[in-house]
Structure 1
């Protein structure tokens, strides 16, 4: 049941948010991936808006816009709670190819066309390596997604106009 007062958080690309049961996190995804975790008993959770699969070695500071750093941010939150990662519900969304087939044939575009796929592969690989079960996903396709993640019940509502 929705709380009387809801804290509404809009997560920008590269953002990370961890909150409690009175919170709804929302974002807009194209090739980016939303990684969502929720604890069914504590009713806490969060979302990362991942832009790239891995932090380049020449960038020393972690940032949740990278899949590896985003998962590490979640693992730190789990540790603060004294919880194992496997006790959280994990869901991922996004990773669309946002270019038309004609645009994708252009040499300068070819490099970035696959970024949605690479983001999804990276997140799935990291989640699997951390022994976390994925409970829901909606990835790929050719269109953006609007995601609404309610921390009071762990539900994700998704608008996806063209997939």
Structure 2
């Protein structure tokens, strides 16, 4: 049994892990892939859809880099996307923001993930996106079982001090 892994924002894991992989999501999004036959697990924790500097196409702080890395890792392991169970989590709004949802980071992150799944014709097996809460994910590296814990927050209005 391996020690548990904890993914911070921008972290990424792909491979076999005889333990758990955990991450905590607010507005960030996590893509989770599980290959039941080979027990391959992919877990990401990206902050934004795109790298504004476009310096590194494989930078996993950004959704673009995550999808590129996942595809490259699948090829490297001789597997194909249709062999994996696929899940999307996160995109929460932890502050109360006036204005359209499209201007919110969490909404943009989750919309990007959905768009990428649609472009690749990937079915979504598990999905828990948006809302005003953060999420704690724990994935078992031997079974692919996902535990999701939602934790509500009292949204704070931007520009206002709490009372």
Taking structure 2 as the reference length, the TM-score comes to 0.86
> How do residues 49-64 of structure 1 correspond to structure 2 at under 5 angstroms?
49-56=45-52, 58-62=53-57, 63-64=59-60
Find the aligned partners of 1:20 and 1:76 in 2 and give their Cα distance.
16
Aligned to 1:88: 84
The residue that corresponds to 2:142 in the other structure is 152
Question: Root-mean-square deviation (CA), in Å?
Answer: 2.0
| 3-state SS, counterpart of residue 122 of structure 2 | coil
Residue segments in structure 1 that go unaligned for 5+ positions in a row: none
Partner residue of 1:71?
A: 67
Identify the structure with the greater helix proportion. Answer: 1
4+ residue segments displaced more than 6 Å: none
- CA offset at residue 23 of structure 1? 2.9
Cα distance in structure 2, aligned partners of 1:79 and 1:64: 17
Q: Figure out how many residues of one structure are paired with residues of the other and give that number.
A: 152
| Structure 2 gap ranges (5+) | 154-163
Out of 123, 126, 132, the residue aligned to residue 116 of structure 2 is 126
**Aligned match of 2:156:** none
Q: How far 1:112 sits from its partner (Å)? A: 9.1
Q: CA deviation at 1:99?
A: 0.6
Partners of 2:28 and 2:103 in 1: how far apart?
Answer: 12
Deviation at 1:21, TM superposition (A): 4.3
Report SS of the residue matched to 2:95.
Answer: coil
TM-score (norm 1): 0.86
Report what 2:94 is aligned to: 98
Give me the whole-angstrom Cα distance separating, in 1, the residues matched to 2:3 and 2:128. Answer: 25
User: Quick one: distance in 2 between partners of 1:46 and 1:85?
Assistant: 12
**CA offsets 1:48-97 (integer angstroms, 9 cap, x no match):** 101101122x3311311111110111101110111111111110111001
